């Protein structure tokens, strides 16, 4: 599937990789849904941020489904490599 840096690197490199993925995801959410929260109360702010995360996950899922559907419609056969 994907290259997992945790398999071949030191423990510290795995933590750095995870941190980069989290920062990348936050950046994507901020770019799509703006970086501010309009709600006033703490509970409403939490709910608004959770809704933004849910919407981001739905968008990613739709993109993956569209990619898979297009792959089958165009007759593209995926190639998977074995992990060392």
Per-residue pLDDT tens digits for 49-59: 999 999 999 99
- Name the token pair of 30: 């901020």
CB half-sphere exposure, 43, CA atoms < 13 A: 0
Q: Return mean pLDDT, the chain.
A: 83
DSSP 9: S
pLDDT at 10: 61
For 78, residues 6+ apart whose C-beta sits below 8 A from its C-beta are: 71
**Per-10-residue mean pLDDT, the chain, length 84:** 54 75 90 91 95 93 88 84 73
For the chain, where are the alpha helices, taking DSSP H only? Answer: 5-8, 11-33, 42-74
- Name the token pair of 71: 């792959």
pTM over 0.75: no
pLDDT at 67: 86
């Amino acid at each position: 599937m994907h290259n997992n840096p945790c398999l071949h690197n030191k423990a510290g490199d795995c933590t750095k990789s995870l941190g980069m993925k989290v920062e990348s995801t936050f950046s994507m959410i901020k770019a799509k849904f703006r970086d501010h929260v309009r709600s006033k109360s703490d509970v409403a702010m939490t709910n608004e941020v959770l809704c933004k995360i849910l919407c981001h996950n739905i968008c990613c899922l739709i993109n993956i489904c569209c990619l898979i559907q297009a792959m089958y419609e165009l007759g593209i056969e995926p190639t998977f490599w074995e992990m060392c």
